[in-house]
Amino acid sequence: MDYKALAQTLFPHIDKTPDYWEEKYPPRNLKEGARVTRFAPSPTGFLHFGNLFTCLVSYRTAKDTDGVFYVRVEDTDQKRKVDGAIEVMLKGLSVYGIVPDEGVIAEGTESGDYAPYYQSARKEIYQTYAKSLVEQGLAYPCFMTPEELDEIRAAQENESIKGIWGKWAKHRDLSFDEICARIERGEAWTLRLKSPGDMEKKCYFDDMIKGKIEMPENVQDVVILKSDGIPTYHFAHAIDDHLMRTTHVVRGDEWISSAPIHLQLFRVLGFKPPKYAHVAPIMKEENGGKRKLSKRKDPEAAVTYYAEEGFPSESVNEYMLTLANSNFEDWRRMNQTEPVEKFPFNLKKMSVSGALFDMVKLTDVSKNVICKMNAEKVFDLSYAWAKEYCPALAALYEKDTARATAILNIDRENKKPRKDIAKWSDIPDYISYMYDETFEPCYELTGNATPALAVKVLEQYIDCVNLDDDKDTWFSRMKELCPAVGCTPNVKEYKQNPDAFDGHVGDVSTIIRVALTGRTNTPDLYSITALLGAETVKTRLTNALTHYKEEF
């Protein structure tokens, strides 16, 4: 067979050679050990939490080594393409601090020496290499129709190796004349790899996450160009990751079963294969078992969920690191104020079987992140969130932004800040009693606080509360009114002799707290009282008194 003539017949329009592209996209000039990684989304517009996670792993792999992280858009499947999808995905990433160094940096905008980064614009490159494979007798056109392929599929039901190989690879040895005749008749063809694989042999590789892997060699004559001349994922991956000089392919582990095909392609093409890091999917516990986090079943599978709920990106980032490396939490405990970038992330410490998504854990991580923020930051971030997702909260804030910040500052910026807020959508409830518009009275009491005691306490307190008091004076007033209502200011004393009293100062403060906030548990009551203002304090105490009088 004259392979050169065959290549020319199949690709008459290709006048370049692989050397041309090799020269155009030379190896990168990076320092020793710098890793080049990428995120290669198909433009579906949906960013799955698992994609974000894999992307973070890819990003950290590059950034921690002063390497390059780029975005390549895998848009060869035009049917799956959604307009505006790239913008949505890039925005989703940038929220979490993942900004590509090169590649597709905005919808339709590319930057970097290895462009184009849209696969749809790289047809000539793929076909150059395809032509070269044909010239070397390593790939061939296959004219099998969809019906013929269906028949083979049916016939192979009991075969362990499926696809086009061995006796099924009927068009491997078509003569040049026959190929020309079929092309002349207008028959559609795909280009298949003439797999050099040996069924008896194994393919070995060392996955950065999964460790040593051994699989049978690929023997299938996989399609490398579809009938429209567009490459399959397998072929595009090999060409692109080689020419873009990717050192580490970080991708979902659903691709691990295709790795023998990919390694074979790299070999046939004469490329040095990249290192692979196959990331296991994020799992969810269900009925005692585990399953993949599902776009269909789990709202938290969509990255937009976190923004909508108002989880700060810092929290999600920290949470993802707990999923990525189990030693992250120990590191965080030892390095409370360090930025996460300082964490020595390690691919080798990733879970092999898939980390478990746990909302309780995320909530916990986020509370810890938020409690360390100062009030201005909490205000700014939650205000930005509110403007988009909770106009009612934004409107409350806008009444008096300084007061809103002061409310958020209660029990903050101290050694043991409270951890009431896990996400911005917790705030409307958390601060509801600070605004008359949202305050809902609730007069339920706990401990020794009874309606009868409440009447006595409130009657006394209404007369003595003074918003100009400093904190100590404020508290002494509560203590001072204790004897008059049959309580002791001393909790210890009460515990020693409970029958001698109707309650203690804690019960007194509960009554006042419930009257002012409708709750038995709140942050610092002194600060709350001060921020409510004299008029509101008076009204709420009076209303509570009226209520308990009626109840009593």
Q: C-beta of 271: minimal distance to ligand GLU in Å?
A: 15
Residue (132 or 246) nearer to ligand GLU, CB: 246
Q: C-beta of 98: minimal distance to ligand GLU in Å?
A: 14
Q: C-beta of 74: minimal distance to ligand GLU in Å?
A: 4
Q: C-beta of 251: minimal distance to ligand GLU in Å?
A: 3
Q: C-beta of 40: minimal distance to ligand GLU in Å?
A: 4
Residue (85 or 386) nearer to ligand GLU, CB: 85
Closest CA to 434 of 367, 523, 520, 510: 523
Helical segments of 417-504, H only: 427-430, 451-464, 471-480, 491-496
DSSP 189-252: -EEEE-----TT-EEEEEETTTEEEEEEPP----EEE-TTSPBPHHHHHHHHHHHTT-SEEEEE
Residue (258 or 432) nearer to ligand GLU, CB: 258
- What 3-state class would DSSP assign to 478? helix
Going by C-beta distance under 8 Å and a sequence separation of 6 or more, which residues neighbour residue 529?
Answer: 465, 467, 474, 516, 537
Q: C-beta of 237: minimal distance to ligand GLU in Å?
A: 5
Identify the residue whose tokens are 């309780």: 360
Going by C-beta distance under 8 Å and a sequence separation of 6 or more, which residues neighbour residue 379?
Answer: 397, 401, 404, 405, 408
Number of CB atoms found within 10 A of residue 298's CB: 19
Q: C-beta of 42: minimal distance to ligand GLU in Å?
A: 5
Please tell me whether the peptide bond between 116 and the residue prior to it is cis, using omega within 30 degrees of 0: yes
Residue (58 or 509) nearer to ligand GLU, CB: 58
Closest CA to 443 of 549, 531, 523, 525: 549
Residue (237 or 248) nearer to ligand GLU, CB: 237
Residue (74 or 300) nearer to ligand GLU, CB: 74
Residue nearest to ligand GLU (CB): 251
Contacting residues toward ligand GLU, per CB under 6 A: 40-42, 74, 237, 251-252
Inter-CA distances, 27 with 21, 31, 118, 536, Å: 11, 12, 20, 70
Residue (249 or 512) nearer to ligand GLU, CB: 249
Q: C-beta of 51: minimal distance to ligand GLU in Å?
A: 7
Q: Give the span between the Cα atoms of 531 and 499, in whole angstroms.
A: 37
Cross-strand pairs, 103: 71, 111
Residue (251 or 504) nearer to ligand GLU, CB: 251
